[in-house]
Each structure stands twice: as C-alpha cells, then as structure tokens.
Chain A
Amino acid sequence: GAGVSQSPSNKVTEKGKDVELRCDPISGHTALYWYRQRLGQGLEFLIYFQGNSAPDKSGLPSDRFSAERTGESVSTLTIQRTQQEDSAVYLCASSWGGNNEKLFFGSGTQLSVL
C-alpha cells in the first residue's frame, strides 16, 4: 500500500481480555516501531524491529505486552489480560532503516479497555 496501515482503527475490549493489533509497514521498509500515546500525553516507545536483528524490546511496559514481526513485513502487537491503563492510541511507524531516516506513521489503533 501507499502508507503504513494499522488495524483495527478502534478496539473496545473488556478488562482481562487479550487483544492483537496489526501493522502493515510500507513495502521495503526494514525498520518498524511501535509507540503508545495516552490521551494528552507524548509518544512512549514500546519496541523496535530492524531487519533480521533481535528487536529492541526495552520499552515494553510489562510481560503482558509482546510483539512479533515476520521478516520485513507485517507486525502484530499483543496485549494479554488487558487493564484499563492500557487504554491509549497504539501507533506503528516504519522507515528505510538507516540513520536519519524519516518515520512514516500509521493512523493508529485506539484501544479502549472497559
């Protein structure tokens, strides 16, 4: 596609349920990032994938959060046993992977945990 695609755009779930968020990066982009943005707050780094290297998971807030990426394509972010504090917009971004490369963001998934 022309840009970074995220799905679903909105997700409402009950506390304790698992959710899976999907990101389709721009074709050819080797780097992929997940960020979380709570209402009125800044972007919080979660995880970074670069090619076939081990991902940088240093931003994942707890072991309930995990992410995978198949090669240089789709990534999924999974949140297990969701809590109300997980409510936020989850943003995915991709880039060509080199230093100083521009990040292209998807429009995000708005997650609401009731």
Chain B
Amino acid sequence: RKEVEQDPGPFNVPEGATVAFNCTYSNSASQSFFWYRQDCRKEPKLLMSVYSSGNEDGRFTAQLNRASQYISLLIRDSKLSDSATYLCVVNNPGAGSYQLTFGKGTKLSVIP
C-alpha cells in the first residue's frame, strides 16, 4: 500500500460546482496533515492544514478521519482559478524525523 494515495483525476467540473477529494494514508502514527495546491509548472503552496476537528477556510473545508486514515477536501462554489493539482501531505514520524510525504495529487479543472 502506498503511503499517501489520491485519486489522480482529472476532475472536470463546471463553475459553481462543489467538488470533493479524498486521500488515504498508511501510517497510523501520522500526526500532521495538509492540503497543498500546485499550479502547472509551479511549486506547491500550502492551501490549508487539516485538524482533527475539521476546519474551514472560506470555500474550502478539510476533514480528517483517523479511524479510517483518510483526509478530505471539499471545495464549494468552484472558481476557474481553483484549477490546479491538489496534493495531500502527511508526516511520516520515525527516527526523530519530520519527513513529509506528498501524494501524487488530484487534478482539478473548473470549466466555464
């Protein structure tokens, strides 16, 4: 089982739609979870951290299910500018390292 798995997509949705991405992780000892966004040929940038209680930032909502070891990202009222690849990121604790493992990403295209 891969450490961090995501549906690669692409997800093609119309403007205004709601879209959800899921991500599963294999290390039950992981404690830190994030969603990053990567635009084409650009470096990744933090979108939001994911907290146990779930958290919301404007149109974006992230949730964590520790029992099932998955993380979700919900985008409401999609904008054209939301088109990007969304990367799920999880820390892999061990040997004192704070290694962060990235999923391969889910590609989103928002269509006019």
Contacts and interface: CB of A to CB of B under 8 A. Distances in A.
B102 to A, nearest CB: 4
Q: Tell me if B's interface is mostly helix, strand, loop or mixed.
A: strand
Contacts of B101: 45
A53 B43 contact: no
B100 A45 contact: yes
Interface residues of A, number: 23
B4 to A, nearest CB: 9
B32 A43 contact: no
Contacts, number: 50
B58 interface: no
A43 B36 CA distance: 11
B97 A103 contact: no
A63 B95 CA distance: 21
A105 interface: yes
B112 interface: no
Interface in B72-98: 87, 91, 95-98
A43 B99 contact: no
A107 B43 contact: yes
